[in-house]
Structure 1
Amino acid sequence: MKKKIIHTLVYSYEIPVLLEEHLICLKPRSNGFQKLCNFDLKVFPSSHTIFPVISENSDDTFKAYFTEPTNSLTIKAESDIETRIHPDLYHIKNNFDLSLPLKIESNNSLIGFIKGWFPNGQHDPAAIKIAQEALAGINNNVLDFLYQLIELIKDRVKYTPRHLGPAWTSGRTLSERVGSCRDLAILLMETCRCVGIPSRFVSGYQFLDQAPEKYELHAWTEVFIPGFGWRGFDPSGCGLINHNYVALASSSEPELAAPVRGSFVGPSNLKSELKWNIEIT
Structure 2
Amino acid sequence: MKKKIIHTLVYNYEIPVSLEEHLICLKPRSNSFQELSNFDLQIFPSPYSIFPLLSDNGDDIFKLLFTGSTNSLKIKTESDIETNIHPDLYQLKNDYDLSLPLKIESNDSLIGFIKGWFPNGQHDPAAIRIAQEALAGINNNVLDFLYHLIELIKDRVKYTPRHIGPAWTSGRTLSERVGSCRDLAILLMETCRCVGIPSRFVSGYQFMDQAPDKYELHAWTEVYIPGFGWRGFDPSGCGLINHNYVALASSSKSELVAPLRGSFVGPSNLKSELEWKIDIT
TM-score, normalising length: structure 2: 0.99
Aligned to 1:143: 143
Matching of residues 34-183 of structure 1 within 5 Å: 34-93=34-93, 95-183=95-183
How far residue 49 of structure 1 moved from its aligned partner, in angstroms, is: 1.3
- Deviation, 1:47, is 4.5
Question: What amino acid is aligned across from residue 76 of structure 1 in structure 2?
Answer: K
Greater Cα shift, 270-279 or 85-94? 85-94
Distance, in Å, in 2 between the alignment partners of 1:23 and 1:17 is 17
Alignment CA distance shift 1:50-1:95 (3 Å): same
Q: Percent identity?
A: 86
Distance 2:10 2:48 in 1: 16
How far does the alpha carbon of each residue in 1:176-217 deviate from its partner, in whole angstroms, 9 at most, with x for none? 111000000000000000000000000000000110000000
Give the drift of 1:51.
1.9
Deviation at 1:94, TM superposition (A): 5.2
Tell me the residue number matched to 2:8: 8
- Aligned with 1:185: secondary structure? helix
Q: Distance in 2 between the 1:99 and 1:105 partners? A: 14
Pairwise CA RMSD: 0.8
Q: Does 1:230 align with 2:230?
A: yes
Distance 2:25 2:126 in 1: 31
CA distance 1:261–1:88, change in 2 (3 Å): same
Shift of the alpha carbon at 1:84? 0.4
- SS class of match (2:261): strand
Whole-angstrom CA distance in 1 between matches of 2:94 and 2:62: 37
Counterpart for residue 33 of structure 1: 33
Contact 1:47–1:68, Cα closer than 8 Å, also in 2: no
Q: Is the 8 A contact 1:10 1:72 kept in 2?
A: yes
1:193 equivalent to 2:189? Answer no
In structure 1, C-alpha distance between the alignment counterparts of 2:26 and 2:210, rounded to whole Å: 24
For 1:142, the aligned partner's letter is: V
Q: Is the 8 A contact 2:47 2:64 kept in 1?
A: no
Give the letter for the 2:45 counterpart.
P
SS at match of 1:161: coil
TM-score by length of structure 1 reads 0.99
Q: For residues 188 and 271 of structure 1, what CA distance do their matches in structure 2 show?
A: 35
Runs of at least 4 residues off by over 3 Å: none
Report the residue type matching 1:261 in the other structure: R
Give the 3 Å change call, closer, same or farther, for CA 47–150 of structure 1 in structure 2: closer
Structure 2 unaligned residues grouped into runs of 5+: none
TM-superposed CA distance for 1:93, in Å, is 4.5
Deviation at 1:96, TM superposition (A): 2.6
Name the structure 2 match of 1:257.
257
State the 1:97 CA deviation.
1.5
Q: Deviations over 1:32-67 (max 9, x none)?
A: 100001000000102431120000110011000001
Q: Secondary structure at the match of 1:92?
A: helix
Structure 1 spans left out of the alignment, 5+ residues: none
Q: Distance in 2 between matches of 1:70 and 1:237?
A: 39
* 1:86 to partner: Cα distance: 1.1
